[in-house]
Structure 1
Amino acid sequence: MAEELNWDFEAFDLALGEAITLDMVKVDLKARVFWLPNAAKHNPPASVNVIKSWVRAFELLPECPIKWEAYFSLKAACYGVSETMGKAFDMALPLPKDKPSLLPSGIQKAVSSKQILKDPPISPPGEKRERKNKITQYPDDFETAWAEYPQRAGGADKAGALKSWNARLREGVTPAEMIAGITRYANFIRSTGKTGTEFVKQAKTFLGPSGHFREPWALPTSPAGGIWFNSPMDCDETIPPGFRG
């Protein structure tokens, strides 16, 4: 999907992770099926022919729970437009006998984007404040990692780093593994004199799918085994510029 959109893979991974967290996208990774639950509700079928065009696409979907969750959602959206549209859906996509009817009692009423903009949903008192607080809260393990991460020139995207952190947790990476990688990287940055420069990776990139936190980040050494320095001012004048033996 990232290639189809011509997006950077890491940027797509972060965006998709956020969409899944907000229930804007449902995913079955094993079946490789992605579903947008609100798509049909906000883009209801304009004619019976549109419903008929869904048949072939639906048949191509691999068997998985999301497929049938989408089926009943599409059916509800059609009935939300009119009974005629609902019956057209039943005729075009009849429910197999081995599938129980899961149509919710409250059929979703299809709405247009203009209606959404005109009549935005009203949140209960305090809900917006609570949602905002959830966004700004950071787990203790992440705060430990963030405090250890080397400073870089320019802004620090803490929220982006948290998204990468959470994405790795979903993949089974432990907080200890990421913190250990950050510690190695921080030592490497300090030893090479790059702290506070643009050469320090963004934390969200370091914790991204490329797995930079798994790299050894061994301290650079001179051919004689000493530690490299960036400037002759870091060394004794009697020692050749660039390294200390």
Structure 2
Amino acid sequence: MTVDAVEARALVEGGRVALRAGDARAARDAADRARALFPEVPEIAGADDARLFADVAALRAEAALAGAGPYDEVDLRRLAARTPPDEPSAALLVRVLAVQGREAEALEVVERLRDELADRYGTDPSPVITQVHLALLRGELNQPAVLAPPRPPARVVLPAAWRRPMTALLGRERDVEALETALDESALVTIVATGGAGKTRLAAEVTRRAAAAGQGYGWSSWPACARPTRCCPPCSRRSAAPTPRPPAATWASNAGCSAPRSVCVPWRRTSTA
């Protein structure tokens, strides 16, 4: 199978940003364009191809569940039938079937997957399946979504250097995803690495995506906190008085005020400019 993986991945990322911003139609359009890059009946052999195809199918399903476009379970069934089965795709399939009032078929998907995992691997389904199964039994999955108009983007101001067009950020998608996950879980995340490792570039990419999704953000960069008043807010507070640090998940490691050279600290959940 030959697919323009870079284009497909870019469409999926753009669709994810649109979906987080509440624009399910744009997300579905991006997902459909990404799906068109694959053959109608794809031969999914490698793990990378399978992951990319699963991401495309997931985005289409999530946009449909948000009220955009028809439900399409064919790709989800293909992924759920793989060996080993793709459990997140199976969970989405359960949701797609349930929202159409096909609870019996959704239960069959769960039972079939549970039997296959037990017989072939001697294991139980992962939490993603047990949680969707419980929601199905409680009748929480049969309410179709009503498509709401997209939220207007928040007014954000990026640093001038970060607004300039840049080349594609290649080979660091896992870093971007890890940083976005950390930002979803904590209000403050610190990026720490040696000089020239690409900390600012990574922070710029994540912040630009957040700005495109209309999310509030903040950021700070300091050489070594030589002047505390110019450090990030937690550092400044610590230099003025021994106040407790805010809850923070440190991405990479936490250098505090002794961080060498340049450290970028983007954080969300702050007011926009």
TM-score for both structures, normalised by structure 1: 0.37
Largest Rg, 1 or 2: 1
TM-score for both structures, normalised by structure 2: 0.34
